[in-house]
Amino acid sequence: MQPCVSQGYYTIGMTMKQHLTKQRVLEIIRRFSSARVLIIGDIMVDHFIWGKVSRISPEAPVPVVLVTDESQLLGGCANVLNNVCSMGGQAYISGAIGDDAMGQWVIDELEKVKVDTRGIIRKKNRQTPVKTRIIAHRQQVVRFDRENRRPVDMDDIQKIIAYVKSVKDQIGAIIVSDYNKGFVSETLLDEVRRIVEGTPIALCIDPKQSEFSFYRGCDMITPNQNEAAQALGSELASFEDVIEGGTALMKAYDFKSLLITRGEEGMVLFERKDGIVYTPIPAVAKEVYDVTGAGDTVIGIFALSVAAGASSEEAAVLANHAAGIVVGKVGTATASQQELVNVLS
């Protein structure tokens, strides 16, 4: 069956047919405070070195950065949690970190905002992943990563599953934030699927594996256009390619919905209704300074919105507007509930 396009665009403030009124937007946002989301995945630290460039090194054709400041932020799936919390939602987290100084920093930061850390496993043979970005004049100059990708063992998976079971009656959505750092495995995903089967809990995936059979049957998956192309093994050069490719992914892997993010081209939402339907969602960002963490914002606000009672279409629009706020900031950033209300008012 060929897909059919939904009528109109799911956005706010356009003259096209409206599917999401301002009243409905505010109703969903008001429910954020009672919505609960569990984030499972790769916990990381985002380390930023800020500086200025005024000359090129005489040793090599590279800029010399005069360091003016440094900062650290929760990264990876912990940044997804930050996005949920900054919108007023309640979040739980499960992942693995090293028994090292950065791992302790992560625990301390989460405890400061009163996040339950019982779902986090500390491993002596594991390094807490750290991404260091050097930023000069609002531009990223270089990034270097410190990590290992050792998979978690079965004992650890059982501990994680026990934690998921202990909180499942309190949550409306689970996000699996897979950064391909060794934490998310097929065994772990299979166990999570069993837990949510037959419940109203939405299982949402932010993928990094190029083999999407890994995520088969989830409620929502949010690849960017490059990730979708890698999963298909073919280039998505045009809007028509995206529609054909998204439809093929929906059919091949039995996703309930699929949201392909396309940067300045916006997003395309695919759903199962009367066949597979797709809905284009235009980009809303006025200025783009840094796309770091934008994917975390999309999956975080989408899942939070669903947990607050939004449909997939409504959740995608809210996530799109939240991401539009975040890319207008430098570094790993989040959007606040008030910022979201302001851009939708």
Active site residues: 296
d(CA 66, CA 168): 48
Nearest residue to 220 (alpha-carbon basis) of 189, 175, 181: 175
**Any residues with CB less than 8 A from the CB of 200 and at least 6 apart, and which?**
172
**Partners of 75 in the beta sheet?**
44
| Locus of tokens 């934030």 | 177
Burial class (CB in 10 A: 0-12, 13-18, 19+), 117: middle
> What are the tokens at 70?
């440094």
* Secondary structure (H, E, C), 108-176: HHHHHCCCCCCCEEEECCCCCCEEEEEEECCEEEEEEEECCCCCCCHHHHHHHHHHHHHHHHHCCEEEE
d(CA 3, CA 64): 52
Kindly provide the b/e burial profile for residues 170-199, where b requires at least 16 CB atoms within 10 angstroms of the residue's own CB. Answer: ebbbbbbbbbebbbbbeebbebbeeebeee
* 332 neighbors 295 (Cβ within 8 angstroms): no
SS3 333: coil
| Locus of tokens 């290992």 | 148
Instruction: Sheet containing 257-261: give its strands across.
Output: 4-5, 275-281, 267-273, 257-261, 220-221, 202-206, 173-177, 36-41, 90-98, 120-123
Measured in Å, how far apart are the chain's first and last C-alpha atoms? 39
